[in-house]
């Protein structure tokens, strides 16, 4: 599968906000992060696997109406839900500028 990676210089200038429309609890698949990894840049698949064995993941449990803020470069994933409890989230991303390094511009949807 082919896909593009944004450069770290662009991603480090973005803030992602997740507004939780439902309670995010351990049983309904909360976002998990590896703390401190936002400073490591864009990582290879091998580096991601290695880090996942070296750093303990933290579940991002958040009550309904709460906001979880994170940088896109932090290693993150959603865990699998173990229940039928909904976990709806409104995900928004903000950038410091509409123009990144070397003329890169974010896609406006």
25 has pLDDT over 60 = yes
Over residues 41-67, mean pLDDT:
93
pLDDT band for position 69 (50/70/90)? Answer: very high
Q: What angle do CA 82, 24, 12 make, to 5 degrees?
A: 115
For 44, left (φ over 0), alpha (ψ -120 to 50), or beta? beta
Mean pLDDT check: name the lowest of 9-13, 24-28, 39-43, 68-72.
9-13
Question: What's the whole-number average pLDDT of the chain?
Answer: 88
Question: What is the CB neighbour count within 10 angstroms for residue 51?
Answer: 16
Over residues 17-40, mean pLDDT:
94
pLDDT band for position 79 (50/70/90)? Answer: confident
Distance CA 47, CA 45 (A): 5
CATH of span 8-103:
2.60.120.620
């Amino acid at each position: 599968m082919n896909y593009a990676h944004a450069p770290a210089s662009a991603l480090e200038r973005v803030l992602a906000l997740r507004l939780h429309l439902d309670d995010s609890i351990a049983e309904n698949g909360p976002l998990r992060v590896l703390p401190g990894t936002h400073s490591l840049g864009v990582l290879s698949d091998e580096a991601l696997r290695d880090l996942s064995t070296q750093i303990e993941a933290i579940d991002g449990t958040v009550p309904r109406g709460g906001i979880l803020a994170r940088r896109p470069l932090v290693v993150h994933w959603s865990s699998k839900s173990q229940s039928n409890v909904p976990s709806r989230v409104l995900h928004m991303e903000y950038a410091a500028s509409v123009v990144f390094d070397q003329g890169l511009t974010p896609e406006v949807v």
